[in-house]
Structure 1
Amino acid sequence: MSDIHLTFQIAALVVLLVLSACFSMSETVMMAANRYRLRSLAAQGNRGAGLAIDLLARTDRLLGVILLFNNLVNTAAATLVSVITLELFGDERWALGIATLLVTFAILVFAEITPKVIGANNADRLAPIVAYPLSALLRSFYFAVWFVNLFSRGLLALLRLKPREDNSGALSVEELRAMVIESGQYIPHKHRSILMNLFDLESITVEDVMTPRGAIEGVDLSDPEDDIRRQIGTSFHTRLAVFDGDREHVVGVLHQRRLLSNLLDESFSAERIRELLARPYFVPADTPLYSQLQFFQENQQRLAFVVDEYGELLGLITLEDIIEELIGKFTTSTPDAGDRMAWNDEGSVLVDGSANLRELNRKLELELPTDGPKTLNGLILEHLQDIPETGVSMKIADTPIEVVQTQDRMVRTARLFRPVPRPEEQ
């Protein structure tokens, strides 16, 4: 009879260790589970994932029910080991000491470390499963869990520690950026590049991507009508900036489609063009690209003139410029020399002085500074603090630059040389 009783006690001890392992694994599973994956499964109708999300919304109750039963089971196992030891060896202190070490080892290895490692490696798969028994235990023993948490909250109040509200659904921009970077096997490179550019829209201003004032193609109403007609006829743009004697005085925007529809019935003249002009739309230079995209949508505009704090015209930005900043060059009716920009066999390339620095960095894989001037001409002038002569060379951000042509107090053409990698980079 005593053998049967001892066998029953040993079997009960094994059951307690298994239960302890289950609770330990459940704790790790719930804490390590990917909450966004659980939300995705819950949206697809997975009831276990929905229960897991509900449990994680109140971590104090979740941890309360897990630790309550885990500690009860561990305490019962330690007590049962003492009872078995007393029955086998009597009141021998050495036997109780060895039994204590053995049960500690068993709990540590079989009920703590091993199940927690298993849970951490399979958290997303096991979370919807363990959520069922945990939810049932929480409903059945809600008062006991509430009573224990009552003392826990009182202790936190004495320590002046206020539990934070669950903010697991909030991610910072840098965390989202890291998630996109690490999602290489799930998101194609092109899509990942678009997402990365989207994160930068708040830090990039319209001044960074605008067409500089000197490169704006427009019509001057003070020119002879033959010159105006030739300018409109050879333009690659559907919308043209219109000036009146001064390149800084924009009087409107000419939509060529509207002009063509009116010329079918009426003669061509500068005054007729003035009547067809749309009101110009101006934006500050420090407007973030994302905000400008919203402004374009709200005002139903596709083109805006960029001005500084004094109202001076700096350049022009279009809806296509913002879209291309997101997804790269996609289509254009204008011959773009930037598309042919590449290093030659000698490791150099001729670049227009009005080239955008961000575009140069992207196409030539350079690291020219973009926190100051936005064009290559502006960068050279700022670096030299003077208007350079032809043949002047310099090095900016490890990139050798040679001035090839200057005209009208600006660098028209420059030659860039491929940077030589540093020894540590090699």
Structure 2
Amino acid sequence: MANNIIVGLDVGTATVNTVVVGVERGKSRPGAGPAESRKTLRILGAGQCQNQGMRRGYVVDFDETVSSIRKSVREAERSAGLPIKRAYISFGGVGLGAERSQATVAVSRADREISEADVKRVVSQSEANLSHFANKQILHTIPLNFFIDRDLKTTKPVGLKGGKLEAEILFITCFNQHYDDLVRSVEAAGVAVEDVVASPLATSKAVLTKRQRETGSLLVDFGAGTVSLAVFEEGIPISLESFPIGSSHITSDIALGFSIPLEDAEILKVSFGSENFSKKKLSEIINARLSDIFELIEGHLKKINRNALLPGGIILTGGGAGLANIAETAKDYLKLPAAVGELKDLAGADKLAGSGWATSVGLCLWLAEEKEGLEINSHLPSGIKNVKNSILRWFHSFLP
């Protein structure tokens, strides 16, 4: 596969979405170097396939998951007219979460100037200080703040002077078993895994504006089996969580409430109404489950002291974001501005029929930025081949 092609693969509970993006370099201004040349992104192809091998974001039927991935990838190959050999994949679902940790180290140089080695040491110590880490692994390491001699607060300590360097780090983690099963499924489908990204962080690149990330916003990825969220402030994610409840639970509630098959309940949920069913009862069933979900979200915001304190509001995405009046329901319950997220305008977006593409598109957008970052941000297992410094570059785009 050509170096200017990026593939984003989102293996979800309901569907597997594959997006192929081409990165075209335009002419740079006179005297500019290669790094300053303009880039144009174009969606070259996409593939989507129903998936019945996952539950709440993790693999329960290996063969079914592999088959769904193959079908999605093959459809994307036909659409793009290109073979797909490797991809960047997202990780979501139960077990995805985040934990903050702090550490302090003495600055090593005699002249008290802070070096990259000092930053690596304090981040490594923060990782060592993590609690409740059994059966988990780190997906991403995000420096939130550095403090020099408990006085100066900064996000870029290298080159500054002091005696002690303290760090506050956000570690995004997942269950080892769920991670390994997902990677094995993708590789068994004939696709090499280049890198793995937490789904809410990938999705944020496709639907959040820079202003929303700066002023404070809540991204809610409303999937079939899970609801994942990420809170952003000052350009970086400051919290992340997932809940084992999603839009498929609403479908089940409708099926029980009207004594109809799940297939009919799904149609009723999406169309929001039928002359054969009471719209009032349907609304009550949907809102009851939405209240449960927004109560969980509100509890998380209270836990991190951000309840009703995010001026950028709530941005809803994922298949469940297509529910009628969901933005108004979120606004009324959480007392924040709310809207359904829209994909950033990209050439070739007409190839994305239907919903649920934000995560796979976000993977491609993030990789295309090619930012340089800190080496400390990569936590990929040695079993994954051909890993570049993509994760290292990505989080640099969050920093001020």
Indicate whether the TM-score tops 0.5. Answer: no
What is the TM-score when the length of structure 2 is the normalising length? 0.23
What is the TM-score when the length of structure 1 is the normalising length? 0.22
User: Taking CA–CA contacts closer than 8 Å with sequence separation of 6 or more, which of the two structures ends up with the larger relative contact order?
Assistant: 2
